[in-house]
Amino acid sequence: MKVAILTLGSRGDVQPYIALAREMIKNGHEVVICTGATFQRFIEENKVSFHPAATDLMAIMESEEGRDILNGKRFSPFKIMKFSKEKIAPSYRKSRK
């Protein structure tokens, strides 16, 4: 069976899927994890195939603007919606084509 796993987030969101993928590979399945490029090396070091997601959520969260929003400096629903629309939503549009 061919399996694609999509996850966006931090290492804590990605790491469990690596463990799952490794077990599935041991059982003869083909597995690819699709996530931000930040985790490519980590995934491939664990002998799992990687495919980049259009958005690297970790890179966004580590940007100055992302840190400001996460730390509450820009906690305005309108600013968060604008940030999401500009930085995150385009990846969903690309993946649906």
Does 57 or 53 have the greater pLDDT score? 53
What is the number of alpha carbons within 13 Å of residue 8 lying toward its C-beta?
Answer: 13
80: DSSP letter:
H
Mean pLDDT computed over 70-80: 65
pLDDT single digits (tens) 4-53: 999 888 899 999 999 999 999 999 999 999 998 999 999 999 999 999 98
Residues β-bridged to residue 33: 5, 50
Are 70 and 87 spatial neighbours (Cβ–Cβ below 8 Å)? Answer: no
Rounded distance, CA 17 to CA 31, Å? 10
Burial class (CB in 10 A: 0-12, 13-18, 19+), 69: buried
Q: Against a cut of 0.85, is the pTM above it?
A: no
